[in-house]
């Protein structure tokens, strides 16, 4: 079993990889290999070449892959509203201006940085800056964006909550547009699997999703303990960093409620307009709800 993951510290991957997380045992005794990817689009290439069986990924890159013929399905959620926009303190925020238009006007004639083309962050900000004189600069690793902000290469950055934490700890910065104002309920990541795995080993998927559900609950209910484990597993950040990142957009759950699905489907016309997809998709092309309906029967926790 090969699992692809990102460096996004609030994903449950950092708990499930760790020997310190007790519910890791729910995954069974399967031999699991973990592979780190810089972005969702890079992970999609690994799905295409069958290098990975399962991945933690934002749904727009996955949808682009499906439109090109990949046989994959989203079988669980993980987090919503995981895209934020940050900038130095001298820019005014949505809280101050109460207008997304007025916030974006501040960056006309300047550059905004975001992860690679086709990532969920890239799609969200490209859709918002249509009609503005704003240059969008894509970075192969999201970790490059704070340095670009610090060096004045870009005036703002758009990425995960980790970006907001890094920027605030390294220099005077703030969230100028919060997640819910960029794209309400956006599917920042879900659990995606090869369709052949669904047919060949459904019990393995069930085991992994049980552990994923338990880890999602652990982040919500015991964030300090979860942060300590995640920080130890990641190895380059401390517990305080992870806790701050958890709090930027604390909407963690494994379920796939109607709001999550609708927000995902709302990306389809945007992806087509931006040229990332050439055909429409239906919900059944993207989601398989059989597993999560059995595992997460209560109301969603997002």
pLDDT in tens, the chain (302 residues): 999 999 999 999 999 999 888 766 767 666 899 999 999 999 999 999 999 999 999 999 999 999 999 999 999 999 999 999 999 999 999 999 999 999 999 999 999 999 999 999 999 999 999 999 999 999 998 889 999 999 999 999 999 999 999 999 999 999 999 999 999 999 999 999 999 999 999 999 999 999 999 999 999 999 999 999 999 999 999 999 999 999 999 999 999 999 999 999 999 999 999 999 999 999 999 999 999 999 999 999 99
Helix 223-234 with 202-221: angle, nearest 10 deg? 120
For residues 64 and 276, the answer to whether their CB atoms sit within 8 Å is yes
Contacts of 26 (CB under 8 A, 6+ apart): 207, 210, 211, 214
Q: Output the CATH code of domain 84-182.
A: 3.40.190.10
Alpha-carbon span 124 to 37, nearest angstrom = 20
Q: Under a CB-based contact definition with an 8 Å cutoff, are residues 301 and 252 in contact?
A: yes
The reply to whether 84-182 shares the fold of 2-81+186-295 is yes
Q: How far apart are the first and last CA of the chain?
A: 29
Which residue, 113, 266, 140, 252, is CA-closest to 189? 252
Collect all residues with Cβ–Cβ distance below 8 Å to 220 and sequence separation of at least 6: 250, 252, 253, 301
Please identify, in words, the CATH class of the domain defined by 2-81+186-295: alpha beta
- The per-residue b/e assignment along 146-166, b for 16 or more CB within 10 angstroms, e otherwise, is bebbeeeebbbbbbbbbbbbb
pTM of the shown model: 0.94
Phi-psi region at 64: left, alpha or beta (left = phi > 0; alpha = psi -120 to 50):
alpha
Count CB neighbours of 19 within 10 A: 9
Instruction: Tell me if residue 2 falls in helix, strand or coil.
Output: strand
2 vs 55: CA distance, rounded Å: 9
For residues 244 and 223, what is the distance between their CA atoms, to the nearest angstrom? Answer: 10
Boundaries of every domain in the chain: 2-81+186-295, 84-182
Q: How far apart are CA 138 and CA 113, in angstroms?
A: 6
């Amino acid at each position: 079993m090969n699992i692809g993951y990102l460096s996004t510290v609030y994903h449950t991957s950092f708990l499930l990889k760790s020997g310190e997380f007790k519910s890791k045992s729910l995954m069974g005794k399967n031999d699991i290999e973990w592979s780190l990817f810089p972005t969702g689009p890079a992970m999609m290439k690994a799905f295409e070449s069958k290098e990975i069986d399962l991945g933690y990924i934002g749904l727009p890159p996955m949808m682009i892959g499906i439109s090109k013929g990949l046989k994959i399905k989203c079988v669980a959620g993980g987090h919503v509203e995981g895209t934020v926009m940050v900038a130095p303190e001298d820019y005014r925020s949505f809280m101050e201006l109460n207008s997304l238009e007025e916030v974006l006007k501040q960056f006309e004639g300047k550059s905004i940085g975001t992860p690679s083309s086709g990532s969920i962050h890239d799609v969200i900000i490209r859709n918002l800056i249509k009609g503005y004189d704003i240059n969008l600069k894509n970075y192969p690793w999201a970790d490059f964006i704070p340095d670009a902000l610090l060096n004045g290469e870009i005036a703002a950055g758009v990425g995960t909550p980790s970006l907001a934490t890094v920027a605030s700890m390294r220099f005077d910065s703030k969230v100028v547009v919060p997640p819910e104002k960029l794209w309400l309920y956006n599917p920042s990541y879900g659990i995606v699997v090869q369709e052949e795995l669904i047919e060949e080993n459904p019990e393995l998927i069930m085991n992994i999703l049980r552990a994923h559900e338990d880890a999602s609950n652990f982040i919500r209910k015991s964030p300090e303990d979860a942060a300590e484990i995640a920080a130890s597993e990641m190895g380059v950040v401390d517990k305080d960093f992870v806790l701050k990142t958890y709090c930027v957009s604390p909407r963690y759950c494994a379920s796939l409620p109607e709001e999550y699905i609708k927000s995902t489907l709302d990306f389809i016309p945007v992806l087509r307009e931006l040229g990332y997809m050439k055909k429409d998709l239906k919900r059944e092309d993207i989601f398989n709800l059989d597993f999560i309906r059995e595992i997460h029967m209560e109301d969603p926790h997002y």
